[in-house]
Amino acid sequence: MVDLLNFPQSISNDIFWQDESHTYTYQQVKALAIDHRSLWGEHPKGAICALIGFSPLETWVLMLAAWQRGLCVLPFAERTLPAAIELALNQIPWTLRCEKSPAGDCSQTNSGAISLRVTPNPQGATATESQVLIMTSGSTGGPKAIAHTLSSLSASARATLAFYEWKKGDSWLLSLDPSHIGGFQILLRVWLGQGLCYYGGEPKDLAQALSVRSFSFLSLVPTQIFRLLEDTTTEHNLRAAKAILLGGAATQGSLLERLRALNLPVSITFGASEAASQISAFSPGVLPTTIKHVGRLLEIWTLEAGPDEQLFLSGPALMLGYWQHKKWHELNGSPYLLSDRGRLENGVLTIEGRADQVFQVGGENLAPQEILGLLESFYLLADLALIAKPDLVFGFVPQLIIRSRTKPSINDLFARFESLLPMKRPREIWWLETDEVSKLSKANLEHLLREGSPLLHRLWIYEKI
């Protein structure tokens, strides 16, 4: 097992964590983790502990402590809705709920102690072989808990560090929450690479951090970089980065052209939670000629082609399997079939779209990109999602959700749908009023729709097709 607290003595006093008010050295973070080991008590190796309500630094400290006890951790973002937590926990045989008490915050107390309460599962639980679970939105049947070991996660982290020629002392802005694979890997890469992790607040607040300093590395999703490019105070520090990793969603053609004109050190990437993050990438500053090209495979990966452009991935960073509805689905050392269709040509991976999202509307096949592709270049600062809603007459009907700060124009939307067959046009259109930038979760969106969230506004329901 990987022991993350066994680092060289020479870096003990180097700064690992920095935010607007505090710094923590590697030795201080290690001491905090050791101090919190006793919180877990005695549990079987691989018992699952859910971390609820903690800041990113607290989450990292508690994960380090839990791994010293041989536990498996499932981190949640600090502001995750209770309903989303319950939905996730219903998928796994968890052992402990570790929740933050109001009094504790290791970034605000002199002692560094984290106040928390630990609740055991009254129904019992199952030990696992994994050390980390990452919740991801399932294409059907609710969310899944992707299970990784520290070995698989470290293999991915080291491959990324090697690809980008990371140097000891480099810095990485923590722009994504560690409950997501992208945020988790930022922390792990920095820790293994003996560098500095800087936290500037929530993902939507990156402009403030980038307006005052630069970082060696950034990991962004398209919505984040669009918003940063709106703020002229960030361009200088964006340009100063060694690499700006851009992934998490398909890159729009209009964004590619803008990045090409700005000559920023952007690296288009492609990855998956099941693969512990990165699968392929372009070198910084090398932009693809088409949005379907997502770079060259990292050296740890082997890709085999199957029928109908199926892609089978093999390598040391693959997941063990996943939990869903408290059932364990094991990979068993087999290659993993990616959800995306594509092919490898001249060493460059081409992605054609997800194979698991096509659904039928009254007998007509509909791929979400048929609708989303009409909107992406128009709604540059919005996030789009399409859900296949069950329907008694048509089997499924398309349900469109637009997440943005400003209300979309329904007339503009209608104009863009004119090229679609009437049957393929969205049956429902909803506006999710928020400035969040994390990846849209299908399961969370469906829950918000069911519960009638005040953030969701109905723009249109088309009663007849």
**Which pLDDT does position 448 carry in this prediction?**
82
**Tens-digit pLDDT profile for residues 389-400:** 888 777 788 999
Q: What pLDDT does 101 receive?
A: 81
pLDDT at 395: 78
Inform me whether the pLDDT recorded for 335 exceeds 50: yes
Statement: residue 83 has pLDDT above 90: no
Mean of the pLDDT values across residues 127-152? 84
Q: How many independent structural domains does the chain possess?
A: 2
Asked which of 69-83, 117-131, 138-152, 397-411 is least confident by mean pLDDT, the reply is 138-152
Residues 292 and 334 in one domain: yes
Read off the pLDDT of each residue in 222-250 and give the average, rounded to a whole number. 88
Domain identity same for 450 and 350: no
Q: Tell me which residue of 171, 206, 230 sits closest to 438, measured CA to CA.
A: 206
Rounded Cα distance between 404 and 387, Å, is 17
The string of pLDDT tens digits covering residues 276-302 is 999 999 999 999 988 889 999 999 999
Report pLDDT digits (tens) over 13-66.
999 999 999 999 999 999 999 999 988 888 888 999 999 999 999 999 999 999
Selected residue with higher pLDDT from 457 and 230: 457
CB-side neighbour CA atoms (13 Å) of 15: 12
For the cut 90, the answer to whether the pLDDT of residue 68 exceeds it is: yes
Domain-ending residue, one of 355, 379, 410: 355
Q: Which amino acid appears at position 429 of this protein?
A: I
Q: What is the CATH number of the domain that holds 241?
A: 3.40.50.12780
CA terminus-to-terminus distance, the chain: 57
- 303 pLDDT more than 70: yes
**Same-domain status, 376 and 239:** no
- 338 shares its domain with 410: no
**pLDDT confidence of residue 110:** 38
Average of per-residue pLDDT values in the chain: 88
pLDDT of residue 139: 45
Residue 350 pLDDT grade (very low, low, confident, very high; cuts 50, 70, 90): very high
Residue 8 has pLDDT above 90, yes or no: yes
Is the domain of 249 the same as that of 199? yes
Tell me how far apart the alpha carbons of residues 433 and 440 are, in angstroms, rounded to a whole number.
Answer: 13
My answer on whether 418 and 349 are in the same domain is no
**CA separation, residue 93 to residues 74, 152, 153, 305, 325 (Å):** 11, 22, 22, 35, 9
- Which domain does 449 fall in, by range? 359-461
Q: Are residues 196 and 57 in the same domain?
A: yes
Residues 166-188: tens digit of each pLDDT: 999 999 999 999 999 999 999 99
Q: Are residues 111 and 14 in the same domain?
A: yes
Q: Is the pTM of this model over 0.95?
A: no
Least confident of 104-113, 317-326, 341-350: 104-113
Q: Are residues 144 and 247 in the same domain?
A: yes
Q: Is 272 left (phi over 0), alpha (psi -120 to 50) or beta?
A: beta
| Same structural domain, 435 and 457 | yes
Residue 258 has pLDDT above 90, yes or no: no
Both 314 and 453 in one domain: the answer is no
Question: Of the candidates 333, 355, 377, which is a domain's last residue?
Answer: 355
Q: What is the pLDDT of residue 109?
A: 39
Q: What's the CATH number where 405 sits?
A: 3.30.300.30
At residue 108 the predicted structure's pLDDT band, cuts being 50, 70 and 90, is very low
DSSP 123-166: T-----S-SEEEEE--SSSS-EEEEE-HHHHHHHHHHHHHHTT-
Residues 209 and 338 in one domain: yes
In the prediction, which pLDDT does 378 show? 72
Parallel/antiparallel/unpaired status of strands 348-354 and 293-297:
antiparallel
> What pLDDT was estimated at residue 10?
97
| Domain finish residue from 355, 371, 404 | 355
